[in-house]
Chain A
Amino acid sequence: MSEWWTYSLSDFLLFSARTYRRLFELYNVDIWPAQSVALALGCILLALMWRPRAGQGRYVSVILMVGWIWVAWAFHWRHFVTINWAATYFAYVFAFEALLLFVFGIVLDELTFEPRSVAHRVGFALLLFAVFVQPLIAPLTGRGWLQAEVFGVTPDPTVVATLGVVLASGRRARWRLGILPFMWCALSGAVLWTLDAPVDAVVLPIAAILVLVVARIARAPAS
């Protein structure tokens, strides 16, 4: 086809902003009380990241892996797909990231952290943001609690939390585990921008840029 340049993202958008928001409402009602479990796991993740301990990288990887698998299955495969046939492919991508976390985080134990480094501090701040601030964006912008996006059960906070963890970890893990979250940041930001949701649209791209900049500045040594 010679006219691909004439297409814009809106040509591929299949749903309205209202339908997308309603999806979160219906999803949150459907999976309740999974959000409580996810929030508890988020708190455990923060505690694990706070100070070094034996098996830290593996425990962190397990929690993130559970989140990515859940989002792949419950959000993309079962719910998002009802308004977006491409969600099937998103489910595969999220499942693949979970596989990467299993291989590099659990089997090879490649997630190691330096608690006093700048990268770790910024990564921890991103994790805090994902667990406690992102769920508040919906109610604070007038959309109500039912549309809250919670770490571990919805894509965007799970991606931001993962970016925080990989920023805090060594350079090798960043590349291996960070590529797909970066891609999701670009995609989600573009979709939300097209849906005329500028506040939501900038969150993930800013998080991704922050991670890139801090990783560049910190130049953390390879683990």
Chain B
Amino acid sequence: MPVAGRDHRDYRVNLPGLVGSGRDGPKIQLPVPERHCGVNETSLPWNAFCRKGLEREVGRWRIRLSDDAGGRMSTKHARKASDPMISGDSRKGSGALAPVPLRRQALSALAALGASAALWPSTVFAQNRPFITRPIPSTGESLPVIGLGSWITFNVGNDRVARDSCTEVMRNFFDAGGRMIDSSPMYGSSQDVIGYGLQKLGKPQRAFSADKVWISSGSAGRSQIEKSRQRWGVSRFDLVAVHNLLSWQEHLPTLLAMKAAGDIRYVGVTTSEGRRHQEIEEIMRRQPLDFVQVSYSAVERDVEARILPLARDRGIAVVVNRPFREGTLIRAVKRQPLPDWAREADCANWAEFLLKFIVSHPAVVCAIPATTSVEHVRENMGACLGRLPDEPMRRRMAAHVEQF
């Protein structure tokens, strides 16, 4: 039996149809990542695929990873393809291959996984595209550029079937490398549903919890945040923002005090649909914010003039809500074919097209589309992969979408 080392853990590779795979199959040694490691922009999200039992297509093969040590991979870290810590051993498996015609396929798959294990992240993953993250300016901590919103979509009440469906959305979100989940006490049962999902998923350590305070009374802010925390079931929130600037004069001092005490990690304010931008600019200029949340899309670009440049100047991370304009934008564009030139920015579908337009703005750290669909969350997370459009391409994208 392979023994888990201090910095590495052995994983076996199951190749369906291949004799000698599974318990006796080839093993591959992967580093056990540390918590809160930085993720750079050229790294690959192999951590997302290392969950026990997860399967991925590799060419004509479906590769299944199993965790010998029986432990969970709770990683926030991604390694480059050339990472020297990754090594492999395919000798056991390669000696007991399936008969022809599977043999040739098995050999090439094993070559990818074993003998050429140094290339394994880029070889094994179906999508050989860099994973895009952005640093939070105030700390440098990196976040994947796509998060998960919960407005309307996760407000399913006590409906167990719908809660399980939301949990699957969350599972796929985390599996694809996602981190930030956003909610608010204003969103009905969404906080409870997120808490339910996090509990069922074993409280993934990679989750970045973003919530809001939304109450008129400044003195009631702290107790509302505590109730929200209990509904999420987290030890503390990563980010708490003042929802729609409601009583921000009272809440911001509370949030800053909570941050200083270590009860939360980041502080922000939010607005939506282009409202109160003048006021939010003033707050951004005068207050020590970590985050600001605004609406922004290819057809709603008001924030480009002042808010986004100001955020860059002040080192404030921008989170973008309603990237699909409550679904109306993506429903409108989906009636049209995706232009061929979208592939120059690695956009495989309209969701990636619209999201990559947003997250390619240098001030934007994260966009938070909401969905109830596993298929859609996978599409959305595709915007974390590959190239981003440059400025001429962004202008072309906006002009193209405005036609619809």
Q: Which A residues have a C-beta under 8 Å from some C-beta of B?
A: 1, 3, 6, 10-11, 13-16, 18-19, 22-23, 26, 79, 82-85
Q: A83-B188, A84-B188 are in contact. Are A26 and B158 (CB under 8 A)?
A: yes
Contacts of B189 in A (CB 8 A): 82-83
Contact at B276–A15, with CB atoms within 8 Å? no
By beta carbon, the residue of chain B nearest A3 is B275
Residue from A1, A3, A10, A19 within 8 A of B157 (CB atoms): A19
The 3 closest A-B pairs by CB, nearest first: A82-B157, A83-B157, A14-B188
Contacts of B161 in A (CB 8 A): 22
By beta carbon, the residue of chain B nearest A80 is B157
Residue from B162, B273, B275, B276 within 8 A of A19 (CB atoms): B162
**B155 adjacent to chain A (CB < 8 Å):** yes
**B152 adjacent to chain A (CB < 8 Å):** yes
Contact at A22–B162, with CB atoms within 8 Å? yes
Q: A13-B152, A14-B187, A15-B188 are in contact. Are A82 and B158 (CB under 8 A)?
A: yes
The distance in angstroms between the C-alpha atoms of A11 and B152, with both chains bound, is 10
Contacts of A11 in B (CB 8 A): 272-273
Contact at B158–A15, with CB atoms within 8 Å? no
Residue from B159, B188, B275 within 8 A of A26 (CB atoms): B159
Contacts of B362 in A (CB 8 A): none
**B372 adjacent to chain A (CB < 8 Å):** yes
Contacts of B151 in A (CB 8 A): 14
Q: A84-B188, A85-B188 are in contact. Are A16 and B153 (CB under 8 A)?
A: yes
List CB contacts (< 8 Å) of B253-275 with chain A. 272-275
The distance in angstroms between the C-alpha atoms of A22 and B162, with both chains bound, is 9
Contact at B157–A23, with CB atoms within 8 Å? yes
Contacts of A79 in B (CB 8 A): 157
Contacts of B156 in A (CB 8 A): 15, 19, 22, 83
The distance in angstroms between the C-alpha atoms of A6 and B277, with both chains bound, is 13
Contact at B155–A15, with CB atoms within 8 Å? yes
**B300 adjacent to chain A (CB < 8 Å):** no
In angstroms, how far is the closest chain B Cβ from the Cβ of A124? Answer: 37
The distance in angstroms between the C-alpha atoms of A84 and B158, with both chains bound, is 12
Q: Which B residues have a C-beta under 8 Å from some C-beta of A?
A: 151-153, 155-159, 161-162, 186-189, 272-276, 326, 372
The distance in angstroms between the C-alpha atoms of A160 and B30, with both chains bound, is 67
The distance in angstroms between the C-alpha atoms of A167 and B203, with both chains bound, is 57
In angstroms, how far is the closest chain A Cβ from the Cβ of B62? Answer: 33
New A-B pairs, 4, CB < 8 Å, besides A6-B275, A14-B187:
A14-B186, A26-B158, A26-B159, A84-B188
Contacts of A23 in B (CB 8 A): 157, 159
Contact at A19–B159, with CB atoms within 8 Å? yes
The distance in angstroms between the C-alpha atoms of A181 and B156, with both chains bound, is 27
Between A and B, 21 residue pairs with Cβ closer than 8 Å are: A6-B273, A11-B272, A14-B155, A14-B187, A14-B188, A15-B155, A15-B157, A16-B152, A19-B159, A22-B159, A22-B161, A23-B157, A23-B159, A26-B157, A82-B158, A82-B188, A82-B189, A83-B155, A83-B188, A83-B189, A84-B188
Q: A14-B187, A14-B188, A84-B188 are in contact. Are A19 and B274 (CB under 8 A)?
A: no
Contacts of A18 in B (CB 8 A): 372
Contacts of A13 in B (CB 8 A): 152
Contact at B274–A6, with CB atoms within 8 Å? yes
Contacts of B273 in A (CB 8 A): 6, 11
Contacts of A19 in B (CB 8 A): 155-157, 159, 162
The distance in angstroms between the C-alpha atoms of A22 and B159, with both chains bound, is 8
The distance in angstroms between the C-alpha atoms of A19 and B159, with both chains bound, is 9
Contact at A14–B152, with CB atoms within 8 Å? yes
In angstroms, how far is the closest chain A Cβ from the Cβ of B79? Answer: 39
Contact at B372–A16, with CB atoms within 8 Å? yes
The distance in angstroms between the C-alpha atoms of A19 and B187, with both chains bound, is 13
In angstroms, how far is the closest chain B Cβ from the Cβ of A89? Answer: 14
The distance in angstroms between the C-alpha atoms of A128 and B290, with both chains bound, is 60
The distance in angstroms between the C-alpha atoms of A82 and B272, with both chains bound, is 24
Contacts of A10 in B (CB 8 A): 326
By beta carbon, the residue of chain A nearest B244 is A1
The distance in angstroms between the C-alpha atoms of A23 and B153, with both chains bound, is 14
By beta carbon, the residue of chain A nearest B273 is A6
The distance in angstroms between the C-alpha atoms of A11 and B272, with both chains bound, is 10
Contacts of B276 in A (CB 8 A): 1, 3
Contacts of B162 in A (CB 8 A): 19, 22
By beta carbon, the residue of chain B nearest A2 is B276
The distance in angstroms between the C-alpha atoms of A26 and B275, with both chains bound, is 37
Contacts of A83 in B (CB 8 A): 155-157, 188-189
The distance in angstroms between the C-alpha atoms of A76 and B189, with both chains bound, is 15
By beta carbon, the residue of chain A nearest B271 is A3
The distance in angstroms between the C-alpha atoms of A13 and B188, with both chains bound, is 10
Contacts of B153 in A (CB 8 A): 16
Contacts of A26 in B (CB 8 A): 157-159
Contacts of B372 in A (CB 8 A): 16, 18
In angstroms, how far is the closest chain A Cβ from the Cβ of B228? Answer: 13
By beta carbon, the residue of chain B nearest A22 is B159
Contact at B152–A15, with CB atoms within 8 Å? yes
The distance in angstroms between the C-alpha atoms of A82 and B163, with both chains bound, is 13
The distance in angstroms between the C-alpha atoms of A163 and B273, with both chains bound, is 38
By beta carbon, the residue of chain B nearest A16 is B152
Q: Counting chain A CB atoms within 10 Å of each CB, which of B151, B158, B272 scores highest?
A: B158
The distance in angstroms between the C-alpha atoms of A10 and B272, with both chains bound, is 13
By beta carbon, the residue of chain A nearest B274 is A6
Contacts of A85 in B (CB 8 A): 188
In angstroms, how far is the closest chain B Cβ from the Cβ of A113? Answer: 40
Contacts of A15 in B (CB 8 A): 152, 155-157, 188
Contacts of A1 in B (CB 8 A): 276
The distance in angstroms between the C-alpha atoms of A13 and B162, with both chains bound, is 18
